């Protein structure tokens, strides 16, 4: 992990299957880039949200 990274929950759709992935990134834009790099342009990103720790 890099300094300042947070955990983001990314909802994606690949070939009609919806999936939820956890991604470590500094910003939501970086989280989208990481998903596109891993799954390619075929993956449609539905939403990106920061994971909140429960206290």
The CA–CA distances, whole Å, from 54 to 21, 40, 45, 51 equal 19, 32, 25, 9
Query: Could you say which DSSP state residue 42 is in?
Result: T
pTM for the model = 0.82
What are the structural domain ranges in the chain?
6-50
Distance, CA of 35 to CA of 50 (rounded, Å): 15
- Number of H helices and number of E strands within the chain? 1, 3
pLDDT tens-digit map of 25-54? 999 999 999 999 999 988 899 999 998 876
């Amino acid at each position: 992990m890099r300094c300042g990274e947070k955990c983001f929950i990314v909802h994606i759709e690949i070939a009609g299957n919806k999936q939820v992935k956890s991604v470590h990134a500094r910003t939501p834009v970086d989280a989208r880039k990481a998903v596109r790099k891993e799954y390619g342009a075929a993956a449609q990103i539905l939403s990106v949200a920061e994971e909140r720790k429960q206290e």
